Structure 1
Amino acid sequence: MRPSIKQVAHLAGVSIATVSRLLNKPGSVSAETAEKIHRSIAELGFRPNFTGRNLRAGNSRTVGVVVPTLSNTVFAQCLQGIELAARALDYSVMFTTTEYLPEEESAAVELLLGHRVDGVILTVADAGSNATLDLLERERIPFVLTYNQLATSGPTTHRASVSVDNRAAACDAVAHLIGLGHRRIQMLSGRFNASDRAMQRYYGYLDAMQAAGLAPLPAIEVERHTLTAATDYQQMMADPLQRPTALFCSNDLLALSAMRDLRALGLQVPGDISVMGFDGIPVGALMAPVLASVVQPSERIGDVALRTLVEAIERAVPAAADGPSSQSPQSAQPALRHILPHVLREGGSVAPPPAAHSLS
């Protein structure tokens, strides 16, 4: 049995109320009394029940986190940023995953709300049209989106979010490939309906191709980044004169998978085809060749999201402002839309195209 506050009070020779005052307001009892209580706590191995105390106070000091997966380390990095910031602010974190299934988002949030979290940080399939976010607003539960990049106009612009500019970052990555001489660049992506980030990155690909007067190639969509797409690559690379000289991948795990599958087909990266990723996960820098990629500040994204959420919780105002019932939700707290900077990591996975393609 765990020692109780009653046993601590009995051993220290003080009242239960005095022990409670020390735990909740350390400066509210004398130094002599505090020392006796601390000795009793140490002797008994007593641990305060902060969960019960917080619930009685009307909050749990716990935030929920919903991410698509932890197999992609970009989300693990984000979770680390959340956890470190939460610890600094005396909050706890509960997390769950959706495995990129939009229908799992509601169940994941309901699970967290059942544990009385004070607010939620989440990455969803489509932030522009999402029943789960609508529910959180109706229930006035504070939430902050991570990685989801909201439109600059429309009914959801008041929602709090932390991301890079996915479209601009993708445009920069593809422009880098164009600058190396590539003219036939194809995009490899997860399913667009499972990730609005992938869709925004596709728009960035189109922007760069069109700005250079180049014809975009049809995007290749795959179910999961860990699956092989060898059949797609075989078809893509069948005609040496028409095949792409560079792949722009919507995330780094897709890029690493592509490099594996292309090598299995006897192709060299970057000798036969260049591969550019997006996310900047640390393992990409350990590959040979190093994976060129757009680097997102994922740990910083988590840190900013947690601090934004806690500020909203402690103001007792949802991070999504007043929600749809507000008279002017579009103008509510626009500063909560955080766009963080991205950088390009140059790597050996990209190089100028083979000579036969450099002038085509």
Structure 2
Amino acid sequence: MSDLLQVAKLAGVSRATAARAFSSPELVREETRNRVLAASEQLSFRPNHIARQLRTQSSRTLGVLLPSLSNPVFAEQLQAMEVAAQQSGYALLIATSDYQTQREADIIENMLRQRVDGLVLTVADADSSPLLASLRQEAVPVVLVHNAPQKIALPSVCVDNREAVRQATDRLLSLGHRRIGMIAGPVMQSDRALLRYQGYCDAMKNAGLEPASMLEMPSHTRSDFQTLQPALQGEQALTALLCTNDLLAISVMGELLRAGYQVPQQISIIGFDGIDIGRLVYPSLTSVVQPLQAMGTTAIAHLLALIAGERPEPMLPLLTQLRLGESIAPPPVFLC
């Protein structure tokens, strides 16, 4: 069985340099690091990470908690985080909570027991989370993604959800829509949904219109036509819908089309996230695009700075943009 000294000799470097190529690859020149990795592969050498953890008191592992991986918004963000972490010599320990606060607490407790060096978290509701309050007593650095807590002082990588939806609602208003509604999953499971609804209310009130009550679906990513149908009937039938995420918007479009409604001729729809599948459906989805890769890389960079003992500057909300698709149009003339 080969050892580190054999790898160093084959790569033409010192044992210390070979060790550093595994423990702190960012400190080793790329050419040298590649020689060490090639030598280790040739000799079938694997570094003993457990022994290194005991020696350095560092696991070189970051814990990542996400609500779900069934929504591409989190998968795309995770992919960017994994690349950024790997480039700095860290691995990710990943778990999903399904928006359940007790699962969040259980998962984080398990990660802390495994001595992760830092945590990147997306929780259901940051300001009401007892988990985040307790983590402030721990020595492990924490960075939030998507959450924007108002009461808990933790660094957060996010967009301005409220302003983004205000602008999306303004777009519908500029097309002539006046009866606009908003659809979300279980509202109390997502502080982002509440902020987005507030942005919708801001735009409606600024236009002198009364905001409609939130249409709450039993799932974050699947619509229920029976819940939606009453809002589409009568003199105050909605002509446009904002959805708190793209998967929900795509589900709503499918339900409407199966029920005989035309999108966007009868009902316009806007989603939120900007996932790629929104471009592929027909009609293509108009969506508020979040910079998901930038969110992932920024979160890892900020967390690594905290681990290194630095005090990075507070993060400003990242910018969104409205990606226009075929799912919005002026309201039907007879409903104006």
TM normalised by structure 2 equals 0.89
Distance 1:242 1:128, change over 3 A: same
Give the aligned CA root-mean-square deviation in angstroms. 2.4
The residue number in structure 2 matching 1:309 is 303
User: Which of the pair has more CA radius of gyration?
Assistant: 1
SS at match of 1:80: helix
1:296 pairs with 2:274: no
Distance 1:228 1:187, change over 3 A: closer
The residue number in structure 2 matching 1:351 is 329
The residue number in structure 2 matching 1:329 is none
Contact between 2:67 and 2:96, CA under 8 Å: does it hold in 1?
yes
Contact between 1:308 and 1:336, CA under 8 Å: does it hold in 2?
no
Higher-RCO chain (CA-CA 8 Å, sequence separation at least 6):
1
Contact between 1:246 and 1:273, CA under 8 Å: does it hold in 2?
yes
Q: 1:273 aligns with which of 267, 272, 281?
A: 267
The residue number in structure 2 matching 1:327 is none
Distance 1:39 1:276, change over 3 A: closer
The residue number in structure 1 matching 2:3 is 5
Quote the Cα distance in structure 2 between the aligned partners of 1:134 and 1:4: 47
The residue number in structure 2 matching 1:118 is 117
The residue number in structure 2 matching 1:66 is 65
Deviations 1:105-150 (A, max 9, x none): 1011112222211010011111112111122211121000000123
Contact between 2:285 and 2:326, CA under 8 Å: does it hold in 1?
yes
Deviations 1:16-47 (A, max 9, x none): xx985343247xxxxxxxxxx99985664122
Give ranges in structure 2 of 5+ residues lacking alignment.
Answer: 22-35
Mapping of 1:1-360 within 5 angstroms?
3-5=1-3, 8=6, 20-25=15-20, 41=40, 44-151=43-150, 155-156=151-152, 158-239=153-234, 241-315=235-309, 335-358=313-336
Contact between 2:161 and 2:192, CA under 8 Å: does it hold in 1?
yes
Distance 1:119 1:208, change over 3 A: same
Compute the displacement of 1:7 (Å): 9.3
- Letter aligned with residue 110 of structure 1: E
How many equivalent residue pairs? 320
Compute the displacement of 1:60 (Å): 1.0
Quote the Cα distance in structure 2 between the aligned partners of 1:21 and 1:208: 61
Deviations 1:326-353 (A, max 9, x none): xxxxxxx7x3233100000111101000
Quote the Cα distance in structure 1 between the aligned partners of 2:39 and 2:240: 68
Contact between 2:274 and 2:287, CA under 8 Å: does it hold in 1?
yes
Distance 1:186 1:39, change over 3 A: closer
Deviations 1:222-271 (A, max 9, x none): 121343411022222232x3210000101111100100111111101101
Q: Which moved more, 1:186-195 or 1:50-59?
A: 50-59
Quote the Cα distance in structure 1 between the aligned partners of 2:89 and 2:237: 54
Distance 1:49 1:265, change over 3 A: same
Q: Which moved more, 1:217-226 or 1:140-149?
A: 217-226
4+ long deviations beyond 6 Å:
37-40
Contact between 2:180 and 2:238, CA under 8 Å: does it hold in 1?
yes
Compute the displacement of 1:5 (Å): 2.5
Q: Which moved more, 1:83-92 or 1:62-71?
A: 83-92
Quote the Cα distance in structure 2 between the aligned partners of 1:256 and 1:245: 17
- Letter aligned with residue 224 of structure 2: A
- Letter aligned with residue 160 of structure 2: D
Contact between 1:190 and 1:225, CA under 8 Å: does it hold in 2?
yes
TM normalised by structure 1 equals 0.83
Quote the Cα distance in structure 1 between the aligned partners of 2:156 and 2:287: 23
Q: Which moved more, 1:304-313 or 1:218-227?
A: 218-227
Quote the Cα distance in structure 2 between the aligned partners of 1:7 and 1:149: 48
Quote the Cα distance in structure 1 between the aligned partners of 2:40 and 2:325: 56
SS at match of 2:334: coil
Distance 1:123 1:161, change over 3 A: same
Deviations 1:68-122 (A, max 9, x none): 0011110011101111111221111111000111221101111222221101001
The residue number in structure 2 matching 1:323 is none
Quote the Cα distance in structure 2 between the aligned partners of 1:248 and 1:24: 53
Quote the Cα distance in structure 2 between the aligned partners of 1:44 and 1:203: 59
Quote the Cα distance in structure 2 between the aligned partners of 1:186 and 1:43: 61
Distance 1:50 1:66, change over 3 A: same
Aligned identity (percent) is 41
